Structure 1
Amino acid sequence: MKTIRSKLILYFFVFVVLFNVVSISIFFSSRSFLQEYDSSFRQFLLLNQISQTSNQLYEKANQFVLGRNQRVLNDFQKLRVTLNEKTKQLQNQKGFGEIQVKSYIHMIETLIQECEMSIGFAIRDDIDQYSLHIKEARNTSSYLQDTTMSLIDHKLTDYQTFYDDLERRKRSFIWFALFLFNTTVLLAVFFALWFSRGINKPVQILSKAASEVSAGKLDGPIIHIDSNDELKLLGETFNLMRKNIRQYIAEIEEKSELDSLLKELELKHLQNQINPHFLFNTLNTISRTAYFENAEETSRLIHAVSTLLRYSLGNINQSVRLREEIKVVTEYFYIQKTRFSDRITFSVNVAEECKKIQVPRLILQPIVENAFIHGVEGMEEGGNILLNIFSENGRTIAEIHDNGAGMTEELVTLITNHQEKNSQHVGHSTGIGLQNVMRRMELFYQAENLVSISSAKGRGTSVKLIFPMEEGDSLEGNNCG
């Protein structure tokens, strides 16, 4: 992952390299001009030095002829050596015509030769010869001066071309400098805007999302930051934080709803949840049974009622084994069968391996009671309620089916969607309705669609409960509270 710091260092390095490349290019270009200018200037100096040395050489030779002075002769020898060195330098110079250089060097050699011959004949006191040769040396020196001026003039003509080219390059360099300056400014502005946008845009997105979170809006879109630096990590961390907050709030709401349901149940227990109508009918049944039968049946009935009352008054927060729920349903069946005799048939089919699983307390009896009250209680005969519990795909399934009055599709939808607000489906013995059972199942197992209802008007109702836990799993720590 690239960091913002590494990006800044990279951009700075790119600009430094760019400026260095341009600076080096300008340096070498200027150096080439300077070398060319220096070469031309040195050629001018060399020609001027040769011209002056040649003239001095002639003057020393003439002085010696006139005065016969040894010091003048020594100066002549030094000037001759210097002139020879300058001549060799001229041979190595470029920019002159080969013929012109050879002719010029030949004149220099002629001058030296004439001067030496003048001095030699002067030493011999041969007036005619040294006069002839000194005159020839004077002419050669004069011609050499003219030739030097001609070469300098020719070189100046070439230099004019060089100077014009230099002026053109100067103007081009000015335009190049302006172009380079504008390009550099534009590139700097572009990179500054691009880089700042890469930082500012994600910051604005994060700032907006943070404002929404502070305002309580936690369902905003996921933040996508298209970068590979700290801002992307910050965006991912913010998404995770908002998700965790949503989950935490959902857990608090679920716990609050569960607490509300439990408090409602506890209140019903404190308010004597045994419906007077149910108690009245049960007591009448016990009375009739005591009248027509022996005391054993009455005792059994009283035992069933006490079992049901004791179980319904137990701690609603604790989970229980499924066998205890089945026992309570069986006692409830016994009480109702005693009341209605052969009008209603109760059947229980339970797989043995399903009895050990942990389930919420009072989860089966309210549904069975609902099937009785709203399904088969009004039937004169042929009423049937079936409790079937079996294992399927690692889950325990409980089905409560009746062949009673049934419900409309609209009412089934209202119940399954938790929209049925009246107390039509609240049991007499416990005060617990279908919606309470459904919601406690969802909260207990932290899952949805665990209760399904299939019904048709006049064709009965089938309620299916799904217990996700495997057989033998302990849910004692996962109680309703």
Structure 2
Amino acid sequence: MHKNNYYFTAFQNVALRKKITLIVIISLLLICISFLINLHFLTKQYDNDLYDANAQLLNNVITNIESQMSTIADISSYVTADTSIQESLTYLLDNQENTKTAISRRDAYEALYPYMFSNEYIKSITLITDHDIITMGENFPSALVDLDTMNNQAIQNAGRISWESGKTANQSTYCVREIRELKYVKLRKLAILYIRIDMEQIISDALEDAGYAADVIDFIILQNKEQIYPNETSIDISSITSDWDYDTKSYHMATIDSQKKFIISGSMRYVDWDYYYLRDYDRIFNHITRAKYATIFYTMLISMIALLLTNFSVQSILKHLDYLVVKIRQFGEGITKPPKKNYNYENRTDEIGTLHRSFDQMTHSVKVLRDENYDKQILLKDTTIKMLEQQINPHFLYNTLDTINWMAQMYGADDISTMALSLGNLFRVSISQNNDLIHLETELDFLNNYIQIQKIRFKERLQFEISIPKQYYQIFIPKLCIQPLVENALIHAMEHSDETCNIELSIEEEENKYLLKVSNTGSAFEDDLLEKIEQHTLKPEGSGVGLTNISSRIKLIYGTEYGLSFYNKNGYAIVVLSIPKEYSKEHNNSFQTT
């Protein structure tokens, strides 16, 4: 944690120019890394799509090849079941050399004719008996093939087809099956059928139909890991594919004779052969590789250009901030005249222009305020001196009122005594230098002194009642904020009327505030009273100015949501003073701690 704080603090202390440059570099680096990762996945996806496309085409090739082999297998079935061939081979089996064996051999030969030319890929059809070989088409190379192995395999298959190729069949491909006697279901061996096919032409045509060209593709077929197609090739596919994991994927990349190859492998289910499709990787992927490297190059180039442009832009922006810092530093040192700069910020509307204009306006305002304050301080000192010269000692005033009170009691003038005592108490509270916030109980004591004087004046016409439970006496309120409200009620309700005036002081509690209410009969408030007084649309009478002063004091102390409000209800003019609960509690705790 300490190490992290160290790096964070170090970064905070780096110059703003370097911070922005570092952030831009990191952002560009993250964008480049994200781009390269996406490019990698896109290239990989392209490889998969290429494999899928080639695998689909190759599947068509394999299907075509298997279809041709299936057709040849059907032809072999027709040959084994041909009546003429069955009869000729049966006669040859049961009879040795005589005049009719030559005729039977000829009949068998002629019976092969329609089958020989029923498929363009059949090169020859051969019947091999125990004593003879009958061939239609190209000569059967009996001396070049492993005839014994092929015959034994056919006999073991008991009439099922086998496909022989590779070294055993002299690099040719044969459809081999045993012909048995079908008459009376004797199933005696009559001959071995060999149909030699042009596998190279079948594969070549299938590839051409799929759109492949022989110069860009190698197609290799293995039987039991022995290459059977093509007859001659320089590629040893078995050694290349020996360590492949076929369960993971069916395509691979391999380097053969210094050339990278794209290889797809699979099996021909019909004949249980494995095939391998090889294409020159460079021909397929060279343009992709070039595009990839070109993309990376241009990405890096554009990133460098973006970095240079960003650095230039940051320099051009921060030079104005540097100039602002110089002005602030000089202002802090007391130099009010800014350094010369051949640039006008007055017509600039962006944040930099706003900062410079605001700072210039602030420095001008500070200078004006400083000069005005200096003049006011001089005037205040002169005023203070004059006030000290003319000030009356407040103790002389208190002693005088006490003397009047004593003499009034001595002569039995109770009203004069009460007024003198109450007036003295009012003066003490008014000129005291205590806090601006006092307990509600203290404010009510002050109000009671005021009411005592007014009751002597108005007698029974004034009915005053305080309806505030003692539980609220310890809340704090602004000093001398209730008496002006009661005085305002007296002025408007009794100065111009001889009727009895009822004044009631009460308190209500809401969720987050206290509401002190002064209600009186004999008058009514105008709508929007405070606004009219403040805007001078209504001339204040009596303590009207005092109301605006009280409202301003409350808003300054507590906030604009508190203050005075006025309304009329049921013949009463009601003024409401609102103060917050929490402020009063906090001030009370602070007062108790002190």
The two structures have a TM-score, normalised by structure 2, of 0.36
Q: Which gives a bigger RCO, structure 1 or 2 (Cα 8 Å, sep 6+)?
A: 1
Higher share in strand: 2
The two structures have a TM-score, normalised by structure 1, of 0.43
